[in-house]
Amino acid sequence: MRADLELIYDWVPDNARILDLGCGDGTLLAALARHKNVTGYGLEIDADGIAACLGKGVNVLEQNLDDGLGNFVDDACDLVIMTQALQALRRPDTMLDEMLRVAPECIIAFPNFAYWKHRLHLTFRGRMPVSRSLPHAWYDTPNIHLSTFQDFAGLCRDKGVTIVDEAVGSADHEGHWTSRLWPNLFGETAIFRVRRGR
Amino acid sequence: MSASFPSDSVGLVTPQTATFESPLALACGKTLERFDLVYETYGTLNAEHTNAVLICHALSGHHHAAGYHTVDEHKPGWWDAYIGPGKVIDTDRFFVVSLNNLGGCHGSTGPASIDPQTGHQWGPTFPVMTVADWVHSQARLADRLGIERFAAVVGGSLGGMQAMQWTMAYPERVANVAVIAATPRLSAQNIAFNEVARQAIRSDPDFHDGWYADHDAIPKLGLKLARMIGHITYLSEHSMGSRFGRDLRSDQLNFGYDVEFQVESYLRHQGDTFSTRFDANTYLLMTKALDYFDPAGQHDGDLAAALSPAACPFLVISFTTDWRFAPARSRELVSALLRAGKAVSYINVDSPHGHDAFLLPNDQYEAVFGSYMRRIHADISGETA
């Protein structure tokens, strides 16, 4: 499993009802269902991902996240997870509202634009960073709302959302979860666990 | 099996008839004292009887879903693209049951059958059937075949409504359900199209109020018009455009009303063929079953409440260019299932072919549907997919 998914896996309580936004091939949901008795749905727009989910017995809905979560009622589940999708949304802020409407808690992972390599790239080359976690050129990237670890913490503060837990990691599969001291600088991927209200 | 059939065909199939002597109470208040159901099966029922898949047919469908009745038959069953060895509904793995619904005109008891009360053809007095009635009759067939629980109930269009109905009427007898290109209820526009089709048939002088058989007549013109209007709703604007465009049959305009455009020729041909192979009373009855289907109606319009008995995971599939039962109708069903807390998966398959897409080969559709069916089989056989 991807390193960020492994950390998230550990954060999910047993028997939770969850929603995984941008669930890909359903790896996380399938593992959670098998070992933690978790139930829920994945949302995905890639047909190969949807087919893979169905093969794993994961409930998956073809749904564009930019269309919102209107088909889910308030508190439809316990936890909403969104990995590597925040930066591609038209309105990440309203999606955060939506996520905390359908569940009291959510976990969000996204590439930290303030990662030191990105900073060096921009500072010394004067061009938009291209890296493992941000592999696209500026003109064809789906990542239209890049943000930093601190930016997201600020958004939560402004919205009155409580940060329960936060972590950073590298985008590779080493599962190297350090950089507690300077997450905004050394974290390649930012992961937040937030709760509705103060 | 003859070597002349494709290797992924179920080959030669022989329809069978099951006769039921105990009465079937119908939604309309009437009772069928006895009835026949014509059906076909493909594949083998396993020892535990856990690998049965029920195929529910659409408006003009029937029991012949796959394979060939004779070596000379030029076209296989109506869903042959999806049923066969190695296909999405893999007959090497599943025991597939496909029947002709009551009121049909392909061998099951219907308007052309003899009414035991009168000794005369039922004709227009054959009871108006509902989707719920069909599902009850299908459950009788399942009993007869020793199937306590279907591994999956599958249907497209009107067949999808039957699949949906199964989960509400017999939740304990359905392990999985696939509802394809369907809708939880017809829109006013859908009913309007059906009504035009019915009026076309009923206003044909050869209809004789449904007693055309007594007059050795067939309301061909009405059936033809009904099929022509129906057919328009099965195709997308794009598929009609790319197939026929504004092509003319001859090089020039004739300033008359004979067939000039290719699309006119096509529709007339479709209508003509249909008018000789389909029964008018059956067509009327099937369109009524479509119009009446509305499970939410008995729950103050709350579809989630109607679906509350359902106990199996749903697969809901729509097609991007289907405007007869548009993707939004499938999403209504999905939303209701979510509200009801049911397990559901949904995909809107990219296809240019409109409503008919559910019958046609399509890589994305096959990948998704195939993946779902393989997982069902893995569950039955205890394998990991």
Task: List pLDDT tens digits, range B275-314.
Answer: 999 999 999 999 999 999 999 999 999 999 999 999 999 9
Q: What per-residue confidence (pLDDT) applies to B246?
A: 93
CB-CB contact of A50 with A44 (8 Å): yes
Query: Is CATH 3.40.50.150 what the domain over A3-113+146-195 is classified as, yes or no?
Result: yes
Q: What per-residue confidence (pLDDT) applies to B150?
A: 98
CB-CB contact of A148 with A166 (8 Å): no
Report the amino acid identity of residue B148.
Answer: E
3-state secondary structure A3-35: HHHHHHHHHCCCCCEEEEECCCCCHHHHHHHHH
Q: What per-residue confidence (pLDDT) applies to B3?
A: 54
Share of chain B above pLDDT 90, in %: 95
In order of their start, the domains of chain B are 16-185+296-381 (3.40.50.1820), 191-287 (1.10.1740.110)
Residue contact A41–B344, C-beta within 8 A: yes
A59, A72, A73 member nearest B345 (Cβ)? A59
Active-site residue, B209 included = no
Residue B333 has pLDDT above 70, yes or no: yes
> What gap in Å lies between CA A107 and CA B130, rounded to an integer?
47
B346, B371, B375 member nearest A61 (Cβ)? B346
Which residue in A60, A64, A69, A71 has the most chain B C-beta atoms within 10 A of its own C-beta, making it the best mutation to test that interface? A71
- Contacts of residue B331 in chain A, CB cutoff 8 Å? 71
Which residue in A23, A38, A58, A62 has the most chain B C-beta atoms within 10 A of its own C-beta, making it the best mutation to test that interface? A62
Q: Comparing B256 with B300, which gets the higher pLDDT?
A: B300
- Confidence band of A177 (pLDDT split at 50, 70, 90): low
Residue B385 has pLDDT above 60, yes or no: no
- Confidence band of A172 (pLDDT split at 50, 70, 90): low
Residue A127 has pLDDT above 60, yes or no: yes
Instruction: For B52-85, write each residue's pLDDT tens digit.
Output: 999 999 999 999 999 999 999 889 999 999 999 9
Q: What mean pLDDT comes out for the span B141-168?
A: 98
Active-site residue, B322 included = yes
ipTM exceeding the 0.90 mark: yes
CB-CB contact of A43 with A24 (8 Å): no
DSSP A111-145: EBTT-HHHHHIIIII-S----SSS-S-TTT-S--S
Q: What per-residue confidence (pLDDT) applies to A180?
A: 66
The rounded radius of gyration (Å) of the Cα atoms in chain A is 16
Residue B33 has pLDDT above 70, yes or no: yes
Instruction: For B201-238, write each residue's pLDDT tens digit.
Output: 999 999 999 999 999 999 999 999 999 999 999 999 99
Residue B384 has pLDDT above 60, yes or no: no
Q: What mean pLDDT comes out for the span B157-183?
A: 98
Residue A5 has pLDDT above 90, yes or no: no
